[in-house]
Structure 1
């Protein structure tokens, strides 16, 4: 997706999202070469293999998130004005896939030490970034059906391994009436044999998810990560405010979700990235960014018109 006239944000290579500094006498809590000592690998693994979701409060400054919110607002309007630019995810609800250089904070996000530690701990040191986009539940958005974001494969159903993660970063302080994200912890391991398209459980299973359900109320600067196989939904937005949330999709090698996306960089931007970022990208390098063809057709069909 390219942005019109001068609305496109300038790329930033600054690490403006700061994490607390470790003290000189603080002993590392991990015995793995890639893990930042501020974050516990056992806790990360336990959270994602247990509940299926974890988070970090205050990972980014509110100023950094406010700028992101302004950029996403411009990109959203451009996507709505372009045929196929936004895909419906339910009533008054859209998903938009974007180019990394359409936002100024891409580098900050993918080099944040918690993001890197989570990816390497769960997906391995050769993890791959395959998707970036955002969801917008607008005023009037209704409860989504409980769902997974894609079908579970044998890696999870048989080998009991998570091979993909979705990071979420809200651009607003989430309140009860804004349609908070709702998740049923532990359901990433549920048998999908009765699910429509392998993603949508039958209504007969809803009581299980209602009993487990947890609503999330992140603030600006907080970031979460989940297995997209954990059963979840967006709830009804009865406020007069949208609730945009950035989405970063990351795979273990060979997971294959890059086939559903089209991560692109211009040659000029790509060449400025350090090698340790390039190593984690499955992408195309192009002379000029091309519009992204949105690929979430099944979800749009099952969730209704936006």
Structure 2
């Protein structure tokens, strides 16, 4: 899957990509990967999560029983498959332009007992969006389990990436007086193993209560247009040995540090309003 050419991207119509992301703020592709591929990803994430929980600062709380962990690309077997998938490439080029940069790889884990998060966006809306009406970053998500209604599905309020957040707390958290607007629009997403979704992280969303006895891990891939600068919240590292094995066409899309040995990531993308006590 790593020998991607322009011809393999053409099968996806840019209008059918840009429309959903500039409209509802969310788009997806069902069955992008095999269940076996996702099972291997799930094994990698499970091991990384257990290791992160043992390390001080290894996981960031996103609310009770809910964590985020930023990882190294080479920590998962399927990184190259994911970032060279024709649909992922087509989405990045259609929305962010040909010089897009991958700036983040990590995962969220809502565990049994996780509660409703407050409605929020993942960071303040940049001027490119508030004044230029352009989306300059995207977040791809890939679940490692089949999501069921009792597992705390991701919930999103379509079209709210354009909401004025200047009065939001931290420019990210709307007041509770506005919740009715989001609840009226809310759509719960229940993807299956192999599905990939993409969204503007500015679209108002939340994780919901996990009533089940299962965790719901989801991989997160962050991609920027030039000048978006979300890399400042992250620390993408790749060893020179791994970098040398990557497809040439991928290397120019990585906003990363090339290192001799991977360093422990100090989780930098904390979201104060989601801490809500101990995770």
Alignment match of 1:229 (pick from 202, 223, 233): 202
Q: Tell me if the contact between 2:138 and 2:199 (Cα under 8 Å) persists in the aligned partners.
A: yes
The structural deviation recorded for 1:198 is 0.6
Q: Tell me if the contact between 1:34 and 1:120 (Cα under 8 Å) persists in the aligned partners.
A: no
Structure 1 spans left out of the alignment, 5+ residues: 1-13, 19-32
1:94 and 2:67 are equivalent in the alignment: yes
- Normalised by the length of structure 1, the TM-score is 0.88
Q: Tell me if the contact between 1:170 and 1:245 (Cα under 8 Å) persists in the aligned partners.
A: yes
Q: Deviation per CA, 1:226-260, whole angstroms, max 9, x where unpaired?
A: 00000000000000000000000000011000011
2:19 corresponding residue in structure 1: 46
The structural deviation recorded for 1:275 is 1.7
Q: Deviation per CA, 1:148-170, whole angstroms, max 9, x where unpaired?
A: 00010110001100000000000
1:61 and 2:34 are equivalent in the alignment: yes
1:5 corresponding residue in structure 2: none
1:199 corresponding residue in structure 2: 172
Once residues 163 and 275 of structure 1 are traced to their aligned partners in structure 2, the CA distance between those partners, rounded to angstroms, is 24
2:54 corresponding residue in structure 1: 81
The structural deviation recorded for 1:197 is 0.4
1:21 corresponding residue in structure 2: none
Once residues 158 and 259 of structure 1 are traced to their aligned partners in structure 2, the CA distance between those partners, rounded to angstroms, is 22
Runs ≥4 residues deviating over 4 A:
none
The 3 A distance-change label for structure 1 pair 90 and 34 is farther
Give matches, 1:276-295, under 5 Å.
276-295=249-268
The structural deviation recorded for 1:300 is 6.0
Q: Deviation per CA, 1:194-224, whole angstroms, max 9, x where unpaired?
A: 2000111100000000000000010000000
1:173 corresponding residue in structure 2: 146
The alignment partner of 1:272 has SS state of coil
Please identify the structure whose Cα radius of gyration is greater: 1
The structural deviation recorded for 1:126 is 0.4
CA RMSD, aligned part only?
Answer: 1.6
1:254 corresponding residue in structure 2: 227
Structure 2 spans left out of the alignment, 5+ residues: none
Once residues 285 and 205 of structure 1 are traced to their aligned partners in structure 2, the CA distance between those partners, rounded to angstroms, is 44
The 3 A distance-change label for structure 1 pair 264 and 225 is same
Alignment match of 1:137 (pick from 110, 119, 128): 110
Once residues 82 and 181 of structure 2 are traced to their aligned partners in structure 1, the CA distance between those partners, rounded to angstroms, is 35
The structural deviation recorded for 1:37 is 2.9
The alignment partner of 1:219 has SS state of coil
- Normalised by the length of structure 2, the TM-score is 0.97
The alignment partner of 2:169 has SS state of coil
The structural deviation recorded for 1:302 is 4.7
How many pairs were matched up? 278
Once residues 162 and 90 of structure 2 are traced to their aligned partners in structure 1, the CA distance between those partners, rounded to angstroms, is 23
